[in-house]
Amino acid sequence: MSDFDSNPFADPEIDHPFQDPSVTQVRQAAPRGLEDYNPFTDAKPVPPGMAPKAAVSTQPAIMKPTDEPPAYTQSQEQSGAAAELLRRQEELERKAAELDRREREMQSLSASGGRNNNWPPLPEKFPVGPCFYHDIAVDIPVEFQKTVKIMYYLWMLHTGTLLANVFGCLAWFCVSSERGVDFGLSILWFLLFTPCSFVCWYRPLYGAFRSDSSFRFFAFFFVYICQVGIYVIQCIGISSWGTSGWISALIALNRSVPVGIIMILIAALFTAEAVLSLIMLKKVHGMYRTTGASFAKAQQEFATGVMTNKTVQTAAATAASRAAQGGFKEQI
């Protein structure tokens, strides 16, 4: 049959060189090339001569610092600003507590109809009652209470030293009969200086801090400087002046050792009072300068106090009326 009788659409039976069995076997054994690579399959071809790589993590990369960041430290300016804020906060809280305390005090005073004198603390059956109202926690602002308390304790030390001076001069009088003058003067100093020191320098200081009075501050400074001079004289202990100072203690030590030791201790108390008084005088003066007080304010307060005093007003009215009556009689 001729070739024209065959089916043109049938596969031609042509000898293909790659259909040879030896070639087909080699092709199957050869590694897969790019034409056989399928990117959508899980298995990935490994090129010959290369080891398979480890699986790469699909998690996002996070950079980890090799060194820890430095610790946060406040600068000197920041520390100073923080300390200033804390100081102001404490000051505001202290002022708020002070205002609250004063408000409660005013409420209690209005409820009780006024405050009664409580110093000196005398028994109720005593014929003489208290003369002053003394309460540092109520009358004195918080920032000045410590100073006023120290001055009050210093006054108590002054009183106790004068009382000890009486017993020291008494012991000296017992071993030496010619020391009766010292013993009598020691009693006089105790009876005189104890109330005078309270009225003349402690109460002005108390009132100055209570009402911020320039006039009371000046009165305190004037009297307290004199008090410091008295302390110096007392610690010196001039003979026949009624004080158990250093000179008197050394003289008594030649007569009696026990009496001399007692008087030396009293002289040490007088010396301590003089030193503490100088320290507190300087401290009060520094606080006085921060309150805004001045000599001009003291003069104004004095003039206002004199003009508003009822006794002065009565005396001025009486003098004016007498002068008017005298002038009228002269005209007649």
142-168 confidence digits (pLDDT tens): 889 999 999 999 999 999 999 999 999
Q: What residues make up the domain containing 179?
A: 144-301
Highest mean pLDDT among 81-85, 98-102, 225-229, 299-303: 225-229
Give me the mean pLDDT over the 99-103 stretch: 71
Q: Does 264 score more than 90 pLDDT?
A: yes
Q: What is the pLDDT of residue 225?
A: 94
Answer yes or no: is 174 within a domain. Answer: yes
Q: How far is CA 70 from CA 67, 73, 77, in A?
A: 9, 9, 19
Please indicate whether residue 13 or residue 230 has the higher confidence score (pLDDT).
230
CB 141 within 8 A of CB 95: no
Answer yes or no: is 325 within a domain. Answer: no
Number of folded domains in the chain? 1
Answer yes or no: is 208 within a domain. Answer: yes
CB 139 within 8 A of CB 212: no
Answer yes or no: is 243 within a domain. Answer: yes
Answer yes or no: is 16 within a domain. Answer: no
Provide CB contacts within 8 A for 272, sequence distance 6+. 157
Q: Does 63 score more than 60 pLDDT?
A: no
Answer yes or no: is 136 within a domain. Answer: no
Q: Does 136 score more than 80 pLDDT?
A: yes
pTM of the model: 0.62
Answer yes or no: is 227 within a domain. Answer: yes
| Residue 239 confidence class, pLDDT cut points 50, 70, 90 | confident
